[in-house]
Amino acid sequence: MNEFVETLLDLPWQADHAPKAAYDVVIIGGGGHGLATAYYLATRHGITNVAVLDASYIGAGNTGRNTTIIRANYGIPESVAFYRHSLHMYADLEAETGCWIMHANRPQLWMAHSVSTARTEQARALMNEACGVPSRFIGPDECAEIVPQLDLTGGGRYPIHGASFHPEAATARHDRVAWAYAQGALRRGVHIWQHTPVVDLLRSGDRVTGVQTAAGPIRAGTVLSAVGGNVTTVAGWAGVRLPIRTHALQAFVTNAYAQEFPGVVSSNDLVFYVSQGPRGQFLMGAEFDRYASYQQATSYTYVQSVARKAITVLPFLAKARILRGWTGICDVSTDFSPILGDTGVDGFLLSTGWGTWGFKAIPAAGEQLALRIATGATPALIAPFGLDRFAKEAAMADPSSAGTR
């Protein structure tokens, strides 16, 4: 045990031994999004007759598997506004919850290895700057000043033409974020039931009226699905068909390495990203597997390909040893933006489409969905991300979502 494994976890679990027959709000999924929504319902709106149900333990899904990058430099103004708000909420989250989430500023360099990609990164920087997110395009020399470990020749094949620089990017310990929200919600009377899979939705006419768990039915005024990579099944129970495909995303970590690696390095052309965690280990990842799947296997081919790309521009990584890899299951929308709020079925809301980028969105999405549930009105910040955008042909195509391209 050390400070990275919680030794003094104070989760004041509910005294009841079984869920109540009814709650005002039932949230399916105890990942970051479900727990944050419960937390903000309780803290901002005094709504505490809430149950969060998780099939496994809290944080068992992608919330406990991600590479913890928090940034706001997205590709369309609506996304930038949303993620900027989330970035700021993350910066205040330790003060807000009283929990140490190991939040740390980790500036991001998004590198270009060709002239045309340099133009893309220049445009990204300009657009973000115009939307109020500090961001600028920097040349190779400044890249090397910020990250001295870079080989600017890119192994002779992928020269670094520059990068868009996002100084406010950050990281935070992922499971501590889940625990901080869980603790705050539990303290205010929210119930969190682990190992309680939802197996169906209760319906009355066109309305969703609750959930069916393995242990019996629970009625609810509102049901929110926040089930990470399982939304197609859950929405299907309500008769809602979603523009979502499910893909596996892998990541891996090296042994601890005595390096002062200043931030997050991503490559648009090579498609990979690297950051150094607080223990000194290097975290690496890239895009999700191309084919749709629910398989949680890791593959040697993936590790080899990402490692090779990373070593091309960061040669010192050739000395590192890969310790372990893991996989999460990601629900990816067809426009690479989240799907939030109303579904067209009364009583049934969604927090989905978080793909490979939803950790950074946890505070803002939780806050905004809590506002939607409490008031019945969709807040302006998340209004562009409603499911109805697809019927209106108003998709929010955002190529910057994944953090690699």
Ligand X SMILES: Cc1cc2nc3c(=O)[nH]c(=O)nc-3n(C[C@H](O)[C@H](O)[C@H](O)COP(=O)(O)OP(=O)(O)OC[C@H]3O[C@@H](n4cnc5c(N)ncnc54)[C@H](O)[C@@H]3O)c2cc1C
- Residues in region 253-282 near ligand X by CB under 6 A: none
Q: Which residue spans within 36-94 are E strands per DSSP?
A: 50-53, 69-70
Considering only residues 23, 25, 26, 30, which one is a binding residue for ligand X as defined by CB under 6 A?
30
Note whether 386 binds ligand X by CB under 6 A: no
Judging by DSSP bridges, how do beta strands 281-285 and 244-256 pair with one another? Answer: antiparallel
Note whether 37 binds ligand X by CB under 6 A: no
Using the minimum distance from each CB to ligand X, give the nearer residue, 227 or 364.
227
CA distance 214 to 55: 10
Note whether 284 binds ligand X by CB under 6 A: no
Using the minimum distance from each CB to ligand X, give the nearer residue, 196 or 312.
196
Note whether 170 binds ligand X by CB under 6 A: no
Note whether 198 binds ligand X by CB under 6 A: yes
DSSP string, 115-147: HHHHHHHHHHHHHHHHTT---EEE-HHHHHHH-
Note whether 29 binds ligand X by CB under 6 A: yes
6: tokens are: 């919680």
- Residues in region 312-371 near ligand X by CB under 6 A: 328, 330, 354, 356-360
Note whether 404 binds ligand X by CB under 6 A: no
CB proximity list for 397: less than 8 A, separation 6 or greater? 76, 335, 336, 337
Note whether 218 binds ligand X by CB under 6 A: no
- Only one of the segments 48-56, 130-138, 142-150, 339-347 lies at the binding site for ligand X (rule: CB under 6 A); that segment is 48-56
Half-sphere exposure in the Cβ direction for 401 (13 Å, CA): 24
Using the minimum distance from each CB to ligand X, give the nearer residue, 35 or 317.
35
Q: Do 258 and 280 contact (CB within 8 A), yes or no?
A: yes
Shortest spacing between CB 272 and ligand X, in angstroms: 12
Q: Please report the sign of the dihedral spanned by the C-alpha atoms of residue 362, residue 363, residue 365, residue 367.
A: positive
CA distance 366 to 370: 6
Shortest spacing between CB 119 and ligand X, in angstroms: 26
- 158 DSSP 8-state letter: S
- Residues in region 52-71 near ligand X by CB under 6 A: 53-56, 60-63, 65-69
- Only one of the segments 27-35, 104-112, 179-187, 201-209 lies at the binding site for ligand X (rule: CB under 6 A); that segment is 27-35
Note whether 86 binds ligand X by CB under 6 A: no
Q: Shortest CA distance to 398 belongs to which of 337, 331, 330?
A: 337
First to last CA, the chain: 37
Q: Please, what is the Cα angle at 73 between 154 and 281, to 5 degrees?
A: 55
CA distance 199 to 211: 8
Shortest spacing between CB 353 and ligand X, in angstroms: 9
Using the minimum distance from each CB to ligand X, give the nearer residue, 118 or 181.
181
Using the minimum distance from each CB to ligand X, give the nearer residue, 161 or 354.
354
Using the minimum distance from each CB to ligand X, give the nearer residue, 55 or 345.
55
Note whether 237 binds ligand X by CB under 6 A: no
Note whether 31 binds ligand X by CB under 6 A: yes
Residues binding ligand X (CB under 6 A): 28-34, 53-56, 60-63, 65-69, 197-198, 226-228, 230, 234, 249, 251, 285, 328, 330, 354, 356-360
